[in-house]
Amino acid sequence: MRHRKNKLLELSTGIVQKTVYVRTLLSNLVKNWKITTTPKRAKVLKAHADYFFSTLIRISWKYEEKDARRECIRFIKENTYWEDVGKKVINTLLPKYIESWNKSSFVADYKIWYRSGDWAPKIMLKLL
């Protein structure tokens, strides 16, 4: 039986390598506003990015302004790398998402052609 196991969101790495890889992908997505990858990795990253931004919005609604900023910074440090990525999320993305009252769908995916090396399909993920 497959109790609460979503095989579509699995990557063929270990658990530590998966979290490091997803954190790196998320950091690069925020830093560059878009990223190109394979469909399986795109599905995992899109789910993680939606969880990341929806949790930040929930934190900012739950606490007062000063406490919310502190908790958001703590959560961003747990889930991304590089300090400039955290500043970009706090100063640019989070106010935009709070103002628009979004709770989900922060990332759009577009199918692109195929990779030239192994002819694997490519998907571009872009922050909205």
Q: What is the pLDDT of residues 79-122, one digit of tens each?
A: 999 899 999 999 999 999 989 887 888 999 999 989 888 899 99
- From the options 3.30.70.20, 3.40.50.720, 3.90.1030.10, 3.40.1440.60, give the CATH code of 13-127: 3.90.1030.10
- Global pTM? 0.84
- pLDDT: is 13 or 68 the higher one? 68
Mean of per-residue pLDDT scores for the chain: 88
- Rounded CA separation 35/127 (Å): 9
CA distance 42 to 48: 10
- Predicted confidence at residue 84, as pLDDT, reads 92
Instruction: Determine contact, residues 122/115, Cβ cutoff 8 Å.
Output: yes
Q: Strand, coil or helix: what is 3?
A: coil
